[in-house]
């Protein structure tokens, strides 16, 4: 008696890394990871506190130590004008310094094996990094809120309405989100949280200080002015100053493209950084998880 055995089709396996997971599921995975990181921040409030202390110190030191000694085009040595000029730079510096936290957090998760646990789950690979960067942006928003209150106490004001102010903060958060992806790539590329913290900070100092954040480019040596004016950080600083209404009446931005169209330059640079470094970070994560 012949028995015919029919082979049942074997369904294609779904990889544990989530290669077949839909966009919607990937977004839900990202939000779950973001919630995990936000809960961790609430359980370790020192992370948020120290993240607030540093920019507050910068505000106080620059406002009262350097205020009145730096010439602002269109306002001279007026201390109150410098405080308003300063805050755009401090806000932008604060969102970029979140890079170090992203670097250290991802490096710590790699070191403790938490990333390996995520790899064993049927979730999108990019969700781990996306969730982390989402959480970092929420933390940055809290820091910006506290910083804005402190700035108000030292004399900073918004002069161009609430909508423009909200647009400025949105631009800052987008720029900060872009830099968290740089932090993610750094965190995946080093072997320890200590190295990630150093790697996430050391390059930020020349980026933020060779800019128009703290002094006008006109006050710099001639060879340094083009570097500061084409720095994407400078475009964001000038954009938020313009949206907050913090530019002196007699101030004329340098005659270069990013300084003439700072809002557009900031948006484009943020989106380019996100596209580039998210691609590199996810690719690095896939190799590390392979």
Structural domain contains residue 9: no
* Angle in degrees, CA 176, 177, 180, rounded to 5: 90
User: Phi and psi of 115, rounded to 5°?
Assistant: -60, -40
pLDDT at 49: 82
Specify if 235 maps to a domain.
yes
Counting the structural domains of the chain, the total is 1
The verdict on residue 50 lying in a domain is: yes
Task: Taking the CA atoms of 198, 267, 216 and 241 in sequence, report the sign of the dihedral they define.
Answer: negative
How many residues does this entry show for the chain?
290
Residue 265 located in a structural domain: yes
What is the pTM (predicted TM-score) of this model?
A: 0.86
What local confidence, expressed as pLDDT, does residue 175 receive? 97
Amino acid 7: pLDDT: 44
Spacing of C-alpha 50 from chain mean position: 17
Residue 60 domain-assigned?
A: yes
Range of the domain at 75: 23-289
Residues of the chain with pLDDT under 70: 1-22, 68, 75-76, 288-290
- Tokens coding 276: 């580039």
208, part of any domain: yes
> Scanning the structure block, which residue is given the tokens 């936000």?
38
257 domain residue, yes or no = yes
Position 149 scores a pLDDT of 92
Task: State residue 207's pLDDT score.
Answer: 93
Q: Is residue 128 part of a domain?
A: yes
Per-residue confidence (pLDDT) for residue 288, from 0 to 100: 67
In angstroms, the CA 231 to CA 266 distance is 10
Orientation angle between helical segments 46-61 and 79-112, nearest 10 degrees: 150
């Amino acid at each position: 008696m012949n028995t015919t055995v029919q082979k049942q089709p074997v369904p294609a396996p779904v990889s544990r890394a989530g290669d077949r997971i839909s966009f919607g599921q990937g977004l839900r995975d990202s939000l779950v990871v973001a919630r995990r990181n936000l809960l961790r921040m609430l359980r370790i409030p020192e992370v948020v506190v120290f993240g607030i202390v540093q920019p507050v110190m910068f505000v106080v030191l620059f406002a009262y130590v350097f205020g009145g000694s730096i010439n602002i085009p269109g306002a001279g040595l007026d201390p109150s004008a410098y405080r308003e000029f300063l805050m755009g730079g401090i806000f932008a510096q604060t969102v970029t310094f979140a890079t170090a936290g992203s670097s250290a957090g991802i490096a710590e998760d790699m070191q403790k094996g938490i990333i390996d646990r995520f790899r064993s789950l049927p979730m999108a690979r990019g969700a781990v990094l996306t969730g982390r960067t989402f959480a970092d942006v929420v933390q940055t928003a809290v820091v910006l809120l506290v910083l804005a209150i402190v700035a108000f106490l030292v004399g900073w004001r918004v002069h161009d309405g609430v909508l423009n102010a909200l647009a400025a903060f949105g631009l800052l958060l987008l720029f900060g989100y872009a830099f968290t992806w740089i932090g993610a790539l750094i965190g995946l590329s080093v072997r320890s949280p200590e190295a990630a913290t150093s790697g996430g900070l050391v390059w930020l100092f020349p980026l933020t200080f060779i800019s128009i954040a703290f002094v006008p480019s006109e006050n710099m040596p001639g060879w340094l002015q083009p570097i500061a004016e084409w720095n994407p950080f400078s475009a964001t600083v000038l954009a938020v100053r313009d949206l907050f209404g913090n530019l002196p009446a007699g101030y004329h931005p340098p005659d270069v493209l990013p300084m003439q169209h700072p809002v557009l330059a900031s948006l484009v640079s943020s989106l380019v950084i996100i596209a580039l470094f998210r691609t590199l970070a996810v690719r690095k994560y896939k190799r590390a998880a392979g």
